[in-house]
């Protein structure tokens, strides 16, 4: 890649990316994080980069483990997971990264998977175009320390049933014959089959990524196999002013209210003395 970049302190990438973007809003800023990095040591920085809607793109590579340090459990490791630091199984409930995005009023959340570079490219392009913090979660395998952690979703025999690629404005259909779909039943989502029990395509939810209310986005992001397919694609993409835009507006406004406009005016604005 023909780009500038640098490594920062583990977990503090969002703080550095925030500074880079605000110092020069014309830059396209991309920040690469791991699940331990973004959701454990850097959880605080992560949520505020989302809440502030800094116009940066966060790529969260979620392999559900601390890979670099050789296999300790992370906040996304599944409950019961045996790792170097949980020899009898993890007793914590894992985060869905999306829960933090919605909880922090994030404006863009998409999920993709390492085995599908085409979908990944589409999502990255959309993230780049989004004004505000874009958070792309990439479900990633760690061959050495957490092999096949997303195996249920990627296995050839399950792929069609356990992956649903959603698109704004399109019905949420999936399966080999594209006849299974997601239906809203009261306050719950369920999987139904078109053509069975009087279900028609009209019963299937149509994806609205642009609605401000995050309720349904969160419900979709929380679905997991085997009961549901994993939802991939752009789940949430809503318009809101980015931090640097509001900062620039405030800066302009402050100039109209300012008592002094130049350094000279400031220096001569008060009582002055001449030293002889
Ligand atoms: C300030 C600081 N604390 C701890 C570490 C040690 N450390 C390096 S990588 C890592 C965890 C990496 O896990 P994750 O973010 O999930 O990335 P992965 O290696 O799995 O891609 C830790 C704890 C560090 N480098 N710096
Ligand atoms: Mg990791």
Q: How many CA atoms lie within 13 A of 174 on its CB side?
A: 23
Q: How many CA atoms lie within 13 A of 20 on its CB side?
A: 20
Q: Identify the CA nearest to 57 among candidates 99, 12, 107, 91.
A: 107
User: For residue 197, how far is its CA from the centre of ligand 2 (angstroms)?
Assistant: 43
Identify the pLDDT of residue 88: 98
User: Rounded mean pLDDT of 40-50?
Assistant: 98
R_g over Cα of the chain: 23
Q: Which residue puts its alpha carbon closest to atom 22 of ligand 1?
A: 69
Q: Identify the CA nearest to 51 among candidates 19, 4, 18.
A: 18
Evaluate if residue 71 carries a pLDDT over 90: yes
Q: Is the CB of 168 under 6 A from ligand 1?
A: no
Strand order across the beta sheet in which 188-193 lies: 173-174, 180-185, 188-193
Q: Is the CB of 65 under 6 A from ligand 1?
A: yes
For the domain made up of 13-170+207-267, the CATH class stated in words is: alpha beta
Q: Return the SS3 of 108.
A: strand
Identify the pLDDT of residue 274: 85
Evaluate if residue 3 carries a pLDDT over 90: no
Maximal CA-CA distance, the chain: 98
Is the pLDDT higher at 274 or at 83? 83
Q: What are the residue ranges spanned by the domains of the chain?
A: 13-170+207-267, 174-206
Q: What's this model's pTM, rounded to 2 decimal places?
A: 0.93
């Amino acid at each position: 890649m023909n780009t500038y970049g640098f490594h920062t302190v583990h977990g503090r990438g969002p703080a550095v990316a925030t500074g880079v973007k605000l110092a020069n809003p014309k830059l396209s800023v991309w920040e690469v994080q791991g699940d331990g990095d973004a959701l454990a040591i850097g959880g605080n920085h992560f949520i505020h980069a989302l809440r502030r809607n800094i116009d940066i793109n966060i790529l969260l590579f979620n392999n559900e483990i601390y890979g670099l340090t050789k296999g300790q459990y992370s906040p996304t490791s599944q409950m019961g997971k045996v790792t170097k630091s949980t020899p009898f199984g993890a007793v914590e409930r894992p985060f869905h990264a999306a829960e933090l995005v919605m909880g922090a009023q994030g404006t863009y959340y998409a999920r993709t998977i390492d085995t599908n570079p085409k979908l990944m490219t589409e999502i990255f392009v959309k993230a780049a175009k989004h004004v505000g913090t874009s958070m792309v979660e990439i479900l990633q395998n760690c061959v050495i320390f957490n092999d096949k952690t997303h195996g249920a979703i990627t296995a050839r025999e399950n792929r069609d049933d356990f992956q649903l690629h959603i698109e704004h404005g399109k019905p949420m259909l999936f399966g080999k014959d594209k006849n299974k779909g997601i239906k809203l039943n009261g306050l719950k989502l369920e999987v139904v089959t078109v053509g069975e029990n009087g279900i028609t395509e009209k019963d299937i939810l149509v994806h609205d990524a642009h609605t401000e209310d995050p309720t349904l986005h969160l419900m979709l992001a929380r679905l997991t196999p085997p009961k549901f397919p994993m939802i991939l694609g752009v789940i949430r993409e809503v318009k809101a002013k980015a931090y640097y835009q509001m900062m620039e507006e405030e800066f302009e406004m402050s100039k109209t209210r300012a008592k002094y406009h130049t350094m000279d005016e400031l220096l001569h604005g008060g009582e002055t003395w001449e030293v002889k």
